[in-house]
Structure 1
Amino acid sequence: MSATDSRPDSTRDVVIPGGQDSSRLSGELTLPTYARGLVVFACTGLASRRRPSLKTTVERIRRNVEVATLVVDLLTPDEDEPGPQTPHPFGDHEARHAGPNVTALAQRLYAATDWVLTEPNASHLRIGYYASGVAAAAALVTASTRPDVRAIVSTAGRADLAGQALEAVLVPTLFIASEADDIALASNRSARGRLRGKSELALLGGAGANANLESGQVLEELTSVASEWFARHLA
């Protein structure tokens, strides 16, 4: 660890095999000697992975719940800013306008989960997923086929994009949305209606608040309710 690196000694940068498409995914793994579980934070792009609010959320959940954490970017750098030569399914004309392919992202999250469980201190840990936006849909698709995933937290997520996989999700899922975010509210309520497992919807910000979950008191409340969910289901 460099003199300017303020991360815990148990934290390191990792490169993770992305599975079927031979991609290489960037991530940051914190694996303390003792952990009650492992929370995988699924991101889509460098800007998403490096948001200060995400760093704060990861640190608070790791401390509050006493878990190991893996922050993984489900997009490669080329896919993050796709051009004409970017491989399918992220670089074609339709993908650039419709957004990332949820199925492909889910396959990568599945592979990243397999990879982290090969770590000596992680193989026995219960898994939780934390994701936003389209990554939340990918987390739900992945969890629909992984019995070792014990909890999901979706923040401002597009859970509805998980499609038919929602009906196979048995994992306890917490949806977090701003009361002012009509799109996220509609998406989460639609998804909850199709889940077979336990789910809850936490509305943050209060009446008249903006849709930002990433600042001030709202972020503190978000990390608190997310921590409580993981503590309850990863214990």
Structure 2
Amino acid sequence: MQNEGDMTWKDISIDTSDGALLSGLWVQPADAQAVIVLVSVTSEGLHSATNQLLAETLARAGYASLFTDLLTAHEHREDAELADLRYDIGLLTTRLSNVIDWGRKEIPDAPVGILAASTGAAAALSVAAERSDEVAAVVSRGGRPDLAGDTLRATHTPTLLLLGGEDSPLVDLNREAAAWLRGEYRLEIIPGASGFSGNNPSHVEELARRAGEWFATYLVSESS
């Protein structure tokens, strides 16, 4: 995957503290002062058209972008049968923290933004609570922040909750979770969208635009 100009995505591997080896993609534009971690926990992962568009949009905006899958290929096969690993928020949180460590070694002291979907959103908010001095902004897209549980009460990081208008049960869960957040948050609904699966490019572009604006507000101020 490549961006316009000379920016080229590099295939990377990240060792986690529990012994897994995660696959990822990394791009570091010139003069990047912030890192955005894009989190996948689905089997389509790095090959999702939605995820690729989001990653490319953020990289073009000048952010160092780290795109990773929090589960290995073997774990996805297991999870397809048992649906257990995607809901292991403790495991996902630890691995996401390891991923952030990798990115901050590349750009020390850079503020971090996290863009996460599905159950990865709960891990993102949990990491934000643990590392509030490093994680400057979170965007959840079609996520399950409610699965972060009591950790929401300790999360002060500015958080944008993006949802599709057709995902009404998910909207209710997000509203309930947002009430527990202690920092600034916004819940936005993109009319007509459902799950941001990439079936409608205009919905994905709108998602990318809103996420980019959120990161521009909080990461630029942190890094300037």
TM-score, length basis structure 2 = 0.89
- Report Cα offsets for 1:164-199 as digits up to 9, x if no partner: 111111100000001221122012101100000100
Q: Which one-letter code corresponds to 1:140 in the other structure? A: L
1:78 match: 74
Contact 2:193 2:203 (8 Å CA) reproduced: no
Residues matched between the structures, number: 215
* Separation in structure 2 between the aligned mates of residue 167 and residue 30 of structure 1, nearest angstrom: 33
Does residue 1:110 correspond to 2:107, yes or no? no
Q: Aligned partners of 1:40, 1:49: CA distance in 2, in Å?
A: 13
Question: Displacement of 1:33 after TM fit?
Answer: 2.5
Tell me, yes or no, if the aligned pair for 1:133 and 1:156 is still in contact at 8 Å.
yes
**Conserved in 1, the CA contact under 8 Å of 2:118 and 2:143?**
yes
Asked whether the equivalents of residues 160 and 190 of structure 1 are also in contact (C-alpha less than 8 Å), the reply is yes
**As a proportion of its length, which structure holds more helix?**
2
Which of 173, 184, 187 pairs up with 1:198?
A: 184
Task: Report the Cα distance in structure 2 between the residues aligned to 1:6 and 1:201, rounded to whole angstroms.
Answer: 31
Match of 2:34 in 1: 37
The change in CA–CA distance for 1:202 and 1:17 in structure 2 (over 3 A counts) is: same
Q: Which of 128, 139, 150 is 1:164 aligned to?
A: 150
Match of 1:126 among 92, 99, 111: 111
Q: Report what 1:51 is aligned to.
A: 48
Asked if residue 101 in structure 1 is aligned to residue 88 in structure 2, the reply is yes
Cα pair 1:37 1:125 within 8 Å, conserved: yes
- Secondary structure (helix, strand or coil) at the match of 2:12 reads strand
Q: In 2, Cα distance between the equivalents of 1:126 and 1:97?
A: 32
Shift of 1:36: 3.4
Q: Which residue of 2 aligns with 1:223?
A: 208
Letter in 1 for 2:11: D
Secondary structure of the residue that 1:144 maps to in structure 2?
A: helix
Hey, what does 1:87 align to over in structure 2?
none
CA-based RMSD: 1.9
Tell me the equivalent position of 1:17. 15
Larger Rg: 1
For 1:46 and 1:98, the matched residues in 2 are separated by 12
Cα offset for 1:217? 1.8
Q: For the residues of structure 2 that align with 1:189 and 1:178, how far apart are their CA atoms?
A: 13
Q: 1:98 to 1:12 in 2, by over 3 A?
A: closer
Deviations 1:5-46 (A, max 9, x none): 645544211110112x11111100111221131100011144
Q: 1:45-90, CA deviations, whole angstroms, 9 ceiling, x for partnerless residues?
A: 44122101111111112223x10100011001111111xxxxxxx6
